[in-house]
Structure 1
Amino acid sequence: AWLDFEEKALQRCGAWRGTEMVQVLHACAMAQRRPKRLLAKLAKDIPDKLPQFDASALCVCLHTFAQLRSRDASLFSVVTRRLLHPDRKDELTPSHLSSLLYSHARVLQYDKGLVRLTQRSLADDQSPFELE
């Protein structure tokens, strides 16, 4: 059944919008499946459709690729550059930054800009941690 799903998904994924890509990636992670051909196709399609994704959706994409141990350096680079662009940095929350750091670490990718932004964010955060 899974191979049939992958075949049909490969045929249709070029027409998917960003939200549909996120849903399929999430489904793969939940099913603990790593359809290599589909992941490769999505890794090529996501950069072409970046305007269709908000910060959360892009973080979910990278997180899923990382969970499935799919290392596509180009995808990680393009998505991270997009998220760290000065026009979009205000969209990034601490949750987004932690997700991005996790994703990069999981696939052994280093992004100097992401590390710098995280360091600045931590330095700017003057509120002490609260324990409940």
Structure 2
Amino acid sequence: MDAVNGGGQSVLSNVDSIVDTGTTLVVGDTESVAQLYEAIGGQDASNTVGEGYYTFPCNDVPSVSLTFGGKSFPISSSTFNLGQVSSGSSDCVGGIVGSSGESFWIVGDVFLANVYTVFDLAKNRVGFADLA
């Protein structure tokens, strides 16, 4: 992955990643996910939601995109926003989470729901295109 972008700027670059249709969220190493949420105004919710999760104000969903092959693909607010922390809460849970066991990012459905994806096993590559 060329970059992880938040709020219109590149926050992380040259990120090792795999694309996994069997993973619901986007999962990254704890440190780089913390950098992303710091850049977009997220709050650590490890003590309230779960280890590695972050929240943001529901009325201000951050702009996040991932760049592959020099092209940036936005994650829609509807897939990035996992919903309210609890009923009536003004804070929502972000779809990118940190995991201390990862040295690479796992790009799952939170991102994949926003693009067409082609897996080319013969050439060991993955391609993305904008949804029509």
The two structures share one fold, judged by TM-score above 0.5: no
Q: Which has the higher contact order (CA 8 A, sep 6+)?
A: 2
Report the structure, 1 or 2, having the larger helix content: 1
- TM-score normalised by length of structure 1: 0.27
- TM-score normalised by length of structure 2: 0.27
Report the structure, 1 or 2, having the larger strand content: 2
